[in-house]
Amino acid sequence: MIRKPLIAGNWKMHMTVADARHLVSEMVPGLQSKSGVDKVVCPPHTALLAVSSLLEGTDIALGAQNMYWETAGAFTGEISPNMVAEFCEYVILGHSERRTFFGETDKDVNRKVQAAFAYGLTPIFCIGETLEEYEADRTYEVVFRQVKMGLEAIQFDNSGDGDGSNLVVAYEPIWAIGTGRAATPTDANQVIAEVIRPALGELFGEGMAQRIRVLYGGSVNGENAQGFFSQSEIDGALVGGASLKVADFIQITLAAVR
């Protein structure tokens, strides 16, 4: 099964609007020349409008870093799916930093994924185990639960027409995010092959499970990216710190081309 690779840059809480404009202006020419791979940048919410205008007419998509599941209401500080959908095609949901620092549960993430689908957004659905869970040999148990609970009640067209492109899964072992300690390519590939795709298969059927793209995230950079992308089950990357460096992000994107 050939799945088109995808590289998404998660800028996290970095970049003012002026900084974002400068970064995108430098990044677009190099990314535009890279065909055969889908490219997404996910700036802070404050920069979505500015970056959207700079990406107009390019093949680079825009994503948000989070959203709430309600369309409107008294939810101070939140951003709704219809607000995100005004500018974005993608939205990162269930990132470990949201789960860890802001207490998001599998049920919360599931509500957000359902809301994203309702508004035509493609979720980049994040899963991954903590260092404590990893050292306790609970990776398979935790990741399987996150997939099943986070994607519960999601409906796909299993007639053969659905290509799975409106869902992206990002496997990010929490102990590898921002630590410089990446999982090995073979270990990451094994988790995807033995846990994530079987869980997707139970939810959506084997055919759909093979069509959904699964990314790796966690200290991906220009030097180690090729090792991950050479693995059969890894379809690209959700990139953190390296997505703020033009040369690194372009190098990672080029490495993903198959």
Q: Which of 106, 202, 107 is nearest to 158 (CA)?
A: 202
Residue 34, amino acid: K
Q: Which two tokens stand for residue 241?
A: 């710190």
Q: Give burial (CB, 10 Å; 0-12/13-18/19+) of 154.
A: middle
Q: Which of 73, 151, 83, 69 is nearest to 111 (CA)?
A: 69
Q: Which of 151, 238, 254, 157 is nearest to 203 (CA)?
A: 151
Out of 56, 95, 97, 206, pick the active-site residue.
95
User: What backbone phi and psi angles, to 5 degrees, belong to 146?
Assistant: -60, -40
Which residues neighbour 175 within 8 Å (Cβ) at sequence distance 6 or greater? 129, 130, 131, 134, 181, 218
Q: Is 65:10 a contact under the CB 8 Å cutoff? A: yes
Report the alpha-carbon distance of residue 6 to residue 100 in Å, rounded.
26
Positions of E strands within 132-197:
168-171
Active-site residue 135, yes or no?
Answer: no
Report the alpha-carbon distance of residue 152 to residue 109 in Å, rounded.
10
Out of 141, 172, 202, 206, pick the active-site residue.
172
Active-site residue 95, yes or no?
Answer: yes
Show which residues are catalytic: 95, 172
